[in-house]
Amino acid sequence: MNLHEYQGKEILNSFGVEIQRGILAHTAEEAVTAAKKLTGDTGTVWHMIKAQVHAGGRGKGGGVKLAKSLEEVRDIAGQIIGMNLITPQTSAKGKKVHQVLVAEDVYYPGDSEPEEYYMSVLLNRASGRNMIMYSTEGGMDIEAVAEETPHLIFTEKIDPTVGLLPFQARRIAFNLGLSGKAFGEMVKFVIALYTAYVKSDSSLIEINPVLKTSDDRVIAVDAKVTLDDNALFRHKDYEAMRDIREENPIEVEAKAVGLNYVDLDGNVGCMVNGAGLAMATMDLIKQAGGEPANFLDVGGTADAERVEAAFNLILKDPNVKAILINIFGGIVRCDRVAQGIIDAYKNMGNINVPIIVRLQGTNADIAKDLIDNSGLDVQSAIEFQEAADKVQAVLA
């Protein structure tokens, strides 16, 4: 589950991570009130107005702006709220902004220049360990840094049996070129950040930029936090942070009816029982020259009701040109699934894309007879390759 910047910062701060403080606002007037409350502003303090959407690169799209007076707070918040924000990380359609974070300006002048760093905590799947990835090149596109100057990205792998050790946090502060007070602040920051990652059951925390202020404080200016859905049951308070306006509407609906659905860009809808078979089916579709429009695991009980719910979801996607149903009848009998498909098809009455059904396992032959004699625009297959060929034929 993805979070907004303001929610991510709230969680981080609860574990002692220093942040750029801010208050959420839904209207221009609320933004002014927030600014006054945040900084006690009488018109001389600067604020950042930051669009809250689930996408990075907001600054580039005009969703993060500096306001140098309360009038500017009102104007800029009014501009950003309701805008359609297009960033390098959104689709071409962009994302509607419903709310902004009114944050304190932390790039104030002082004894030294503010410095921006990059830092993230994530699981390194190759080594099976959490790692902290960091760079002196903060504030910019980290993918570009990785491409052009990979030697400026450092990693610190963490041994799960002992956790992050103090010397590792010191090594990070050292590699970032810090000394004196800022060095100590960075060590504290890294330790708190890693604690937050572990205790919140996050799968990714990315802070870009981490800022060393002109008076040597170290704070998170931005926060991208992704929580592990499988651990959400342990965090009821985080569960309430879900903002379904930011999520794919078909995926939200699938979740509500208990189907495991991931929206993809292709043209062949798939309905499969079991995640492994679903992935193999997606490979099959690619081999046949198609692109999967979705991942959909209907689970063990593929009855008419579930099949109909699944059809409904798949057909919401206008790109779908064909549907491949691939069900292995282990516990569930193929003939029951076939009957479920036929019932759902007739019941819906508005299916206008060809359907290829591959049923394998218990009573597969009876199932094939049912499908073949149904009189519907549904083709049956028993073998994997046969199904692939039929998909290829309908796409041609």
Active site residues: 118, 206
Residue 212 touches which of ligand GDP, Mn ion, none (CB < 5 to 8 A by kind)? Answer: none
The three-point CA angle 61-153-106 to 5° equals: 50
CB of 241 to ligand GDP, least distance (A): 18
CB of 155 to ligand GDP, least distance (A): 21
Mask 204-233, x = binds ligand GDP (CB under 6 A)?
----xx-----------xx-----------
- With respect to Mn ion, which residue has the nearer C-beta, 208 or 380? 208
Mask 86-105, x = binds ligand GDP (CB under 6 A)?
-------------------x
d(CA 267, CA 317): 9
Give the number of other Cβ atoms within 10 Å of residue 119's Cβ. 25
Binding to ligand GDP, residues 153-192 (CB under 6 A) = none
Q: Which residues pair with 155 in a beta bridge?
A: 133
- With respect to ligand GDP, which residue has the nearer C-beta, 104 or 335? 104
**Interface with ligand GDP, residue 139, by CB under 6 A:** yes
What lies within 8 Å, CB to CB, of 141 at 6+ separation is 57, 88
CB of 119 to Mn ion, least distance (A): 11
Mask 16-55, x = binds ligand GDP (CB under 6 A)?
----x---------------------------x-x-----
Residue 62 touches which of ligand GDP, Mn ion, none (CB < 5 to 8 A by kind)? Answer: none
CB of 50 to ligand GDP, least distance (A): 6
CB of 15 to ligand GDP, least distance (A): 20
Stretch of residues binding ligand GDP (CB under 6 A), selected from 59-67, 234-242, 306-314, 332-340: 59-67
**Interface with Mn ion, residue 52, by CB under 5 A:** no
From the list 208, 326, 363, 374, which residue makes contact with Mn ion (rule: CB under 5 A)? 208
Mask 216-235, x = binds Mn ion (CB under 5 A)?
------x-------------
**Interface with Mn ion, residue 116, by CB under 5 A:** no
Q: Which residues bind Mn ion (CB under 5 A)?
A: 208, 222
Q: Which residues bind ligand GDP (CB under 6 A)?
A: 20, 48, 50, 56-59, 64, 66, 105-107, 139, 208-209, 221-222
